[in-house]
Amino acid sequence: MLDALGQILGLIFSVNFILTVITASTPLLLAASGELVAERSGVLNLGVEGMMIMGAACGFAAAYVSDSTIVGALCGILAGAAMAAIFAFLTLGLAVNQVATGLALTILGTGLSGLIGAGFVGMRITPAPQLYLPVLTGLPVVGRILFGQDAFVYFSFALIIGIWLFLYRTRSGLILRAVGDNHVSAHALGYPVLKIRMLAVLFGGGCAGLAGAFLPLAYTPFFIPGMTAGRGWIALALVVFASWRPGRLVAGAYLFGAVTFLQLSVQGLGLGIPPQVMSSLPYLATVVVLVLISRTRGASGSAAPASLGVVFVPDR
């Protein structure tokens, strides 16, 4: 037992650990970043899983046909945004319940991605290249970690920093948060509530699509139907975990990446723990984390945007 513990500790403090965690966390961070912006504008889009899997299927198909990671990533973004557009039309244009529409989006995305991806199952592509810098990557320990990632990883950090700057340091970000906190007042002040929300939802869709595209373009070099495996739902939970704040989102995404790593490496140790127990770990962890975070928040009130999920129909 002690021996096994030692092995686990040894794994945790290895360069390999950090590298694996980064790749496992990146799709979560990308998808959750987009959803954070959408939710900050007051829209709860439960269709992240559907938008992600569409991003994965379309991204892989495009990358395979064009033999280019960038084209694949762009098509992933477009696919996610297109799905988000359907969601926006229904929830914003027709004032439909957001929870039910989000579920519909996930069901549709799962089916459509299966249709699109069916012809590409079993194909392989060249995975996204790691961006090595001549001297810096060669540095001991930090070299590989800081300067040896693929473009998705760097982009995910640029994205979350950009989102933070936008939300807290620009006027538009302030307006977006105002819309999410009180759409009636924002409307009365003359801000186009529905238009702002539509843009936020499209942005969220694009991010989810990119997160999905990351999976077949960089994580594994092939497409498997249903390969998002609930990551979209975990991304939704992460936004709650982060209390709708970008900084905490990074911490949360990396915490979950670490759980994924634990799952993979403990399986490798052969401790006799059934693989199914380890596979269910990220989902169990999500439940536990949601409970803990909601509990500690308790009395101080919810940190959620006040208008989150509430239908808004402007009166004329």
295 touches another protein by CB under 8 A:
yes
d(CA 38, CA 199): 8
Q: Which of 15, 82, 290, 310 binds another protein (CB under 8 A)?
A: 290
Interface stretch with another protein, choices 70-78, 101-109, 175-183, 198-206 (CB under 8 A): 101-109
188 binds another protein (CB under 8 A): no
CB of residue 136 vs another protein: minimum separation in angstroms? 40
Residue 300 lies near another protein (rule: CB under 8 A): no
Q: Give the total residue count for the chain.
A: 316
Residues 195-234 that bind another protein (CB under 8 A): 225, 230, 233
132, 141, 280, 303: residue in contact with another protein (rule CB under 8 A): 280
**Cα–Cα distance between 265 and 81 in angstroms, integer?**
35
Q: How far is CA 14 from the centre of its chain?
A: 26
Largest CA-CA distance found in the chain, in angstroms, rounded: 70
**Contacts for 292-299 with beta carbons within 8 Å, 24 or more apart?**
293/240, 293/241, 293/243, 294/240, 297/243
- CA 184 to chain CA centroid, nearest Å: 29
Told to check if 185 binds another protein by CB under 8 A, we report no
**CA–CA gap between residue 230 and residue 209 (Å, rounded):** 14
In the complex, the smallest distance separating the C-beta of residue 151 from another protein, rounded to whole angstroms, is 30
**What is the contact surface with another protein in residues (CB under 8 A)?**
46, 50, 86, 90, 93-97, 99-101, 103-105, 107-112, 114-115, 118, 225, 230, 233, 236-237, 240, 274, 276-277, 279-280, 283-284, 286-287, 290-291, 293-295, 297-298, 302, 313-314, 316
